[in-house]
Homo-oligomer: A and B are copies of this chain.
Amino acid sequence: MSSVFDALAAPRRREILRLVWEKERAAGDIHQALDAVSFGAVSQHLRVLESAGLVARREDGRFRYYIARRKDLGPLGKWLESTWDEALTGLKSLAEADEASAPARRRRRGSRRSKP
């Protein structure tokens, strides 16, 4: 049983949650809507989302339909929608607002990623 926090931690899962926010979609449909991710990965993500109580699953023949459980999400649903709205309207995110108010703090040394 995944926690809601764990479920929301992965960007891909938030992407999926958004895909099933308004309308029900079959797993394959969700897979097609994403790019560069395997079907297996999508299936795993859907399981985590369901286990956290974020989406509901309906079986119909060979298909599995998923949809967000918006009614049960309460303030969480509101918040998620607000983050999506902000992205659309270009409002400052919490982090951006914070950066702006933070005093100059530079002093970053070398990169920590090595390029092969």
A73 within 8 A of B: yes
- Cβ < 8 Å to B, chain A residues 24-50: 50
Contact for A8 among B8, B52, B97, B99, CB less than 8 A: B8
Known: A75-B79, A79-B75, A79-B76. A95 touches B8 (CB 8 A): no
* A82 and B75 contact, CB distance less than 8 A: yes
**Contact of A52 with B3 in the complex, beta carbons under 8 Å:** no
Q: Is B5's CB under 8 angstroms from A14's CB?
A: yes
In the complex with contacts A82-B74, A93-B53, A6-B9 CB distance below 8 A: yes
Q: Which 7 pairs, one residue from A and one from B, show the smallest C-beta to C-beta distance?
A: A53-B94, A9-B9, A53-B98, A75-B79, A75-B78, A53-B95, A76-B79
